[in-house]
Amino acid sequence: MKSIIKLLPDSVANQIAAGEVIQRPASAAKELLENSIDSGATQITLAIKEAGKTLVQITDNGCGMSELDARMSFERHATSKIRKADDLFAIQTMGFRGEAMASIAAISQVELKSKVKDGEMGTCISIKGSEITNQEPCQCSKGTTISVKNLFYNVPARRNFLKSNNVELRHINEEFTRISLINPEIAFSYYNNDKIVYKLIPGGLKSRIAALFGNVYNERLISLEQNTDVVNITGFIGKPEFAKKTRGEQYFFVNGRFIKHPYLHHAVNNAYTELIPADSFPSYFISIKIDPKDIDVNIHPTKTEVNFQDARYVYAVLHAAVKQAIGKHSLTPTIDFDVNPEVEAAFLTPPSNDLKQPEIEVDNEFNPFANTMPSSGMGTPNFEKPSTENWESLYSGMDTKEQTGDGKLSFTDEPTDEENDYDESKFIQVQNRFIVCNVKKGLMVVDQNLAHFRIKYEDILGRLKSSTQHSQQQLFPQNINLTKNDGEILKSLFEELKNIGFEIEDAGKGNFVIVGVPADLKDTNIPSVIESIIENHKSNVDELDFDKNINIAKSIAIRSAIKNGIKLDKREMKEIFDSLFKCKAPTVSPDGKNILRTIGESELEQILKNPRD
């Protein structure tokens, strides 16, 4: 029988391996940056073109490579950091598998120039699809320069799966941020299409955070430090009052390597319980130092996941450290019980007999209403406005117009007699959360929050598509400071936000000025609304059916919808019912939850017969 199992050619094997290690241009940038750090470089420059699809170039002043090392670096599983199996449990470096360079060379055109410190000449190697096309001595500076051109040129299927330039650029920005953040002692430069993005000078972690995310972070951070025999935790956390609606600034580093760890994230979030809103996210930049033998970093190709030998212990220490840091930070002015002796003496000195009571002249005949208020013969006029209960506060996000026939939920300032012509006994509010209505089939129970969410969602979505919304200019424009990636997302949404009435200006360096908002949006914390839109965009951008308009409509609608716990009167309940059943999907909220349920007569009888069921 003819054998059918054969060894794959090296070129094919390398392309398969590259699919695990190099997923997009950001992956190549990450691996090359980590190699530069391992080389002992103190200055590293990243340059990209066309979001890394055309060029990813790294230049460093590290130790460089000899001619033989330069050639060997492109072989699979060739590494200077592992000698025996036990070394896997004592890893102190970033790159160690010996896969990155071989994987990059298999799917791109690579040029490497490198020279050791005392070398007279450097080495230049050109590789195309794992094949070395040229190797020769060259004149170059100490260190290494690697240029990766035309990524995935020989794997068109992979190249076609790359996202837009904006999306790929955000991934590269994030990788650069992660690596430069935890290495503040290294100078980094970052160029995109020959334009400078970042030029970071050496310093401490706090100054590096401010350089990457804005100088406002100098006032927003709390120092964090906790040392034990097993783990050392240092870094900074955000003050509770500066928690955001977007989870951008959350970074864990273990032994200098960025990681994602939901369990540790829960430890930090739990420490902020009752200090920040449930839908807000605290910022944190936390570095964890632990013995390499107590963790396993070799569980994921991208090395962003680690296993702790005793994760519960690390959780407990981290949680206690964050709680302690927040506790030390004074959120309110403290009372100083150390009284100045001179001040105390002043209070103890008996008052002088020469002190006199101040004299004030008062015109007892003055009447401010004598010439401006005509007498009605009815006594003192009553200036108190008739109560409308919680009318304006409840529907502060709605147009104060009469209800139209297009399903738009709107209200007048004060209901007329004609508008109140309906059966008030038809509606009941339960626990300030559910609206109960008597219908032919029994009792219909409606969740007021989800119902209003659906109503607002379809209203906003319609306006996004028609571009008919008017903007209300802000008397005092509000400012919002965003990270590089969040700022790029906001700029990509400018057109859609303008369609519903937002007017936002880019002030540069992550600062934006909100000069206009939708006329019916009464939420005074507009930056928080913008952050919610950005977070929703990031959470759903990779979905196949992603739609910018839908995500914007959801973000705004959920914030302007009536919350549970708000008391409604009969007319308000009727308006919600009428508007809900003019929606295209009145039974399901935009996030897939059931809005209503009808309890039939037979079901009610069953409940009464078996009250414990």
Q: Which CATH number is 442's domain given?
A: 3.30.1370.100
Q: In terms of domains, do 512 and 429 share one?
A: yes
Q: In terms of domains, do 188 and 260 share one?
A: no
What phi, psi does 566 have (nearest 5°)?
A: -90, 130
Q: In terms of domains, do 445 and 562 share one?
A: yes
Dist CA 405 CA 364 (whole Å)? 59
Residues in the chain: 613
Q: Quick one: pLDDT at residue 178?
A: 95
Name, in order, each residue with C-beta under 8 angstroms of 283's C-beta and a sequence gap of 6 or more. Answer: 217, 220, 221, 237, 238, 242, 243, 244, 249, 250
Q: Which of 203, 224, 249 is the last residue of a domain?
A: 203
Does residue 563 lie within any of the structural domains?
yes
Under 8 Å between Cβ of 582 and 407: yes
Q: In terms of domains, do 452 and 503 share one?
A: yes
Closest CA to 442 of 588, 606, 573, 593: 606
Q: Quick one: pLDDT at residue 477?
A: 86
Does residue 557 lie within any of the structural domains?
yes
Q: In terms of domains, do 183 and 215 share one?
A: no
Closest CA to 439 of 599, 296, 286: 599
**H or E element that contains 314:** helix 311-328
Cα–Cα distance list, 598 to 105, 422, 607 (Å): 63, 22, 14
Q: In terms of domains, do 79 and 108 share one?
A: yes
Q: Quick one: pLDDT at residue 414?
A: 36
The pair of three-digit structure tokens given for residue 4, joined into one six-digit string: 């059918």
CA quadruple 139, 140, 145, 149: dihedral sign: negative
Under 8 Å between Cβ of 241 and 331: yes
Q: Quick one: pLDDT at residue 363?
A: 65
The pair of three-digit structure tokens given for residue 431, joined into one six-digit string: 């626990």
The pair of three-digit structure tokens given for residue 520, joined into one six-digit string: 């019916």
Does residue 414 lie within any of the structural domains?
no
Does residue 400 lie within any of the structural domains?
no
Dist CA 538 CA 248 (whole Å)? 10
Residue with token string 């019916």: 520
Dist CA 223 CA 231 (whole Å)? 17
The pair of three-digit structure tokens given for residue 574, joined into one six-digit string: 């009727």
Q: Which of 183, 203, 223 is the last residue of a domain?
A: 203
Does residue 613 lie within any of the structural domains?
no
Q: In terms of domains, do 189 and 129 share one?
A: yes
CA quadruple 106, 107, 112, 116: dihedral sign: negative
Q: In terms of domains, do 154 and 218 share one?
A: no
Give 448-509 as a DSSP string.
HHHHHHHHHHHHHHHHHHHT-PPEEEEEEEEEEE--HHHHHHHHHTHHHHHHTT-EEEEEET
Q: In terms of domains, do 127 and 49 share one?
A: yes
Amino acid found at 292: P
DSSP E strand stretches across 355-447: 427-430, 434-439, 442-447
Q: Quick one: pLDDT at residue 76?
A: 73
Q: Quick one: pLDDT at residue 390?
A: 38
Residue with token string 């002796």: 341
Binned average pLDDT, 10 residues per bin, the chain of 613 residues = 75 67 91 92 96 96 92 76 54 62 91 92 93 93 95 89 90 95 97 95 95 90 94 95 85 93 94 87 95 79 81 95 86 43 44 56 62 41 37 36 37 38 69 88 90 91 74 83 87 86 87 85 78 82 66 84 88 90 91 90 82 62
Does residue 389 lie within any of the structural domains?
no
Q: Which of 304, 328, 352 is the last residue of a domain?
A: 328
Dist CA 357 CA 375 (whole Å)? 39
Average pLDDT, the chain: 80
Per residue in 161-190, is it b (16+ CB within 10 Å) or e — as a string? Answer: ebeeeebbbbbbbbbbbbbbbbbbebbbbb
- Describe the crossing of helices 165-181 and 484-492 by its angle, rounded to 10 degrees: 160
Does residue 368 lie within any of the structural domains?
no
User: In the chain, how many domains are there?
Assistant: 3
- Sheet harboring 231-238: ordered strands across? 221-227, 231-238, 284-290, 250-254, 257-259
Under 8 Å between Cβ of 613 and 605: no
Dist CA 495 CA 116 (whole Å)? 51
Q: Quick one: pLDDT at residue 4?
A: 79
Q: Quick one: pLDDT at residue 541?
A: 62
Widest CA span in the chain? 123
Q: Which CATH number is 160's domain given?
A: 3.30.565.10
Per residue in 311-339, is it b (16+ CB within 10 Å) or e — as a string? Answer: eeebbebbbebbbebbeeeeeeeeeeeee
Closest CA to 192 of 485, 604, 566: 485
Does residue 409 lie within any of the structural domains?
no
Q: Quick one: pLDDT at residue 537?
A: 82
Q: In terms of domains, do 276 and 295 share one?
A: yes
Amino acid found at 519: A
Q: In terms of domains, do 565 and 528 share one?
A: yes
Dist CA 236 CA 220 (whole Å)? 10
Residue span of the structural domain in which 301 resides:
206-328
The pair of three-digit structure tokens given for residue 453, joined into one six-digit string: 């969410």
Q: Quick one: pLDDT at residue 592?
A: 87
CA angle 450, 452, 454 (to 5 degrees): 70
Amino acid found at 592: G
* Dihedral Cα 414, 418, 422, 425, nearest 10 deg: 40
Q: Which CATH number is 288's domain given?
A: 3.30.230.10
Q: In terms of domains, do 534 and 437 share one?
A: yes
Give 398-434 as a DSSP string.
S--S---TTS-----SS--TTTT-S-GGGEEEETTTE
Q: What is the pTM of this model?
A: 0.70
What phi, psi does 7 have (nearest 5°)?
A: -75, 135
**H or E element that contains 191:** strand 187-192
